Structure 1
């Protein structure tokens, strides 16, 4: 009886013991899962989605308690998709925002980034683009230059030396010199202006509106007036574009202007910045170093003109999920301060970093090095077109400039409409 009893007890113990271990492992697994944090990162630049995914993998490999999900929506649909996220109660933890109007829309959701170690690395000239209600809530994604991108090979074949272009008159002479050789050079036009794209029209306008606000982004954002201080220069440049660009001008789209017209040497210039670098070197490795140069718009025309340098996009952290806030800040800190993240940013994204005291020799092409030197200098000038009222570029400025290009509206009529609609949009959006 004792044997049977002991045997019975052993049998029961043998049955219970595995259950004990299973229960224990399950409990530990639940605890481990409860400590894991999933960050949601909303990205509005589709062209660098792959690189952000790589950065996320690199980070989570070193921080296994963190998972990063990246949602990408851009090319005109990003703003609406981001609004839908907030409206559905699925606010991301990290969001990419374009300009102070968009930052202002989410200001109640954004936390201050003033105390981050990443913040201390940012170029001072770029900080104002991430300020809302005197709080720094956004850090610039990169440093961009705005001006004329020119094809060095076309310039050389036309006998034009970019270093000899010092003012607007020199620029016009160069344009005309290239134009008379169009057939010999096999050009479709001097310019490959993508008139179908209202964003490009807006970025060109920044050449003339930025200096009127002393390149102060907060000042521009608060103003209810569209500045016409350099309106005559703006008029002259748009006329030059209309007369010497590939026709019909409104049929030219962004991708073909870069990947076909510019890359294949069918045009001499396009009004774009260093964001075209990844596309060009993606088509042909080394093309940028060999063939891409930039010259400024000549607005003041007094020898002080230089490429505008700033950032179109800023990263912010939301307060909607307090338990994930620290992890979101830690990831941003890592992206801005670690050497391994920086290597991806400069060599794969081909960004010029928005950080100060950067070793410029690490940049892979001479144009990027020049842009960093200009953008990090005390004379850096930021573009303000991202501070226009929401919808102004796509619904007002772009469409009316397009009408001007096809002689459907006079410049005086255009000025009146733009002045009125700019004020109306600003007043509505400021709640005044």
Structure 2
């Protein structure tokens, strides 16, 4: 209970800094996004031992990053190019996300004998398949600066096995102007009120939700709404894995099914052919009033309409509505790669140099996972800003992410079952049965 409370408080404190960071400085660092890029001599820290004023020696090596976050793919490669100019170390970025099964592709890459220097992994059970190659980063210079709430999920046996990528949150991102057009003046607090909200939007000829066919959105984020609403998510999940409890017989899952039914009954036409990019693009174009995503879509939305009036609303379920916050993924240094030390040096440079910090806060539009990187409120945008306000006013309505407490492979099966349910090929009871079967099958292995 203390750990959970700590997570909520720290998340609220971090998001509060999003609102207050603009124009402030942290130590000797100016606010992210407001200072010019430092010269190589000012920001070079390509190896942990490099001084702040002496550029690291150039090395004729190439390191590869195998990463999943499509939203930052272009910006990450540009940052990699900056690093090469400064150090001579070439960094190649390979991105697999969106509609691709990143974990399956990563495992296939490793099985084929390819060993990228840096790759992404979730925390908790998500890191288990890679523990034989995840380098211990506990003694890296930046480790002491991590936001405390981000550390436990990627720590095993006292070792820090990755660098938390950033902090994210999701609920229902919604178009405030479309809500106003439909005469909606208060956000729904219950499932009954959510259903009424959908009716009002439809009456105003506005599509309530933009849905997607992506397995990860439904099998991870949608289902986490139910997982997080358990009285004790960690304990409940352990009981499910042990076969002591089931999805099918759980009262929270029954409530969650109604939430899903409301969403699926009030989405756009042909959601089964709508991928992630199309979903966000159509939402950004004002074709739907809500989308189940978080602050990570801000950059994609801005490409369509920077002036869209958006907010993040908590999701009604149980006693009150909640927003869900956590670490989306971690940077893992592959100890079996050709250049693990150069990989550590790149990550260190990314979070300590002025160039790297500016990219994280401004170009990636991240809420940083390190206290030494000031968030850029302007870059974070309206979605993150709305969450910041909500989290500071209602810290008791922030819940965490729990899907990585299950072994890898389960969420993919859940997502496949959700696709069947979206296509009306199975019933609600059959959906929950498939959830249970997925857990049982994976836990047997």
> TM-score scaled to structure 2, two decimals?
0.76
Q: Which residue of 2 aligns with 1:414?
A: 431
Give the secondary-structure state (helix, strand or coil) at the position aligned to 1:230. Answer: helix
Q: Is the 8 A contact 1:210 1:384 kept in 2?
A: yes
Aligned length in residues: 381
Give the secondary-structure state (helix, strand or coil) at the position aligned to 2:328. Answer: coil
Measured at CA, do residues 49 and 359 of structure 1 come closer, stay the same or move farther in structure 2, by a change above 3 Å? Answer: closer
Q: Is the 8 A contact 2:310 2:383 kept in 1?
A: yes
Residue 307 (structure 1) aligned with residue 300 (structure 2): no
Give the secondary-structure state (helix, strand or coil) at the position aligned to 2:366. Answer: coil
Measured at CA, do residues 411 and 350 of structure 1 come closer, stay the same or move farther in structure 2, by a change above 3 Å? Answer: same
Measured at CA, do residues 211 and 278 of structure 1 come closer, stay the same or move farther in structure 2, by a change above 3 Å? Answer: same
111-120 or 232-241, which deviates more: 111-120
Q: List alignment gaps of at least 5 residues for structure 2.
A: 1-55
Matches within 5 A, 1:396-407: 397-407=414-424
More helix per residue: 1
Q: Distance in 2 between matches of 1:333 and 1:98?
A: 20
Measured at CA, do residues 33 and 307 of structure 1 come closer, stay the same or move farther in structure 2, by a change above 3 Å? Answer: closer
Q: Is the 8 A contact 2:182 2:201 kept in 1?
A: yes
1:316 CA drift (Å):
0.8
Q: 1:334 aligns with which of 349, 368, 372?
A: 349
Cα deviations by residue, 1:188-209 (Å, 9 ceiling, x for unpaired): x211111x22112121111111
Cα deviations by residue, 1:220-274 (Å, 9 ceiling, x for unpaired): 69944565452122111011012212233423332222212x1222221111112
Q: Distance in 1 between matches of 2:138 and 2:233?
A: 22
1:133 CA drift (Å):
4.6
Q: Distance in 1 between matches of 2:109 and 2:426?
A: 39
Residue 145 (structure 1) aligned with residue 162 (structure 2): no
1:321 CA drift (Å):
4.3
Q: Distance in 2 between matches of 1:375 and 1:135?
A: 30
Q: Which residue of 2 aligns with 1:345?
A: 360
1:122 CA drift (Å):
2.1
For the pair shown, the structure with the greater C-alpha radius of gyration is 1
Q: Which residue of 1 aligns with 2:273?
A: 251
100-109 or 405-414, which deviates more: 405-414
Q: Is the 8 A contact 1:212 1:229 kept in 2?
A: no
Matches within 5 A, 1:15-414: 36-64=60-88, 66-75=89-98, 76-162=100-186, 164-182=187-205, 187=206, 189-194=207-212, 196-202=213-219, 203-212=221-230, 214=232, 223-224=241-242, 228=250, 230-260=252-282, 262-284=283-305, 286-287=306-307, 290-302=308-320, 305-321=321-337, 324-356=339-371, 359-360=374-375, 362-364=377-379, 365-371=381-387, 380-395=398-413, 397-414=414-431
What is the aligned-residue RMSD (CA, Å)?
A: 3.1
102-111 or 39-48, which deviates more: 39-48
1:215 CA drift (Å):
5.5
Q: List alignment gaps of at least 5 residues for structure 1.
A: 1-31
Higher relative contact order (Cα pairs below 8 Å, separated by 6+ residues): 2
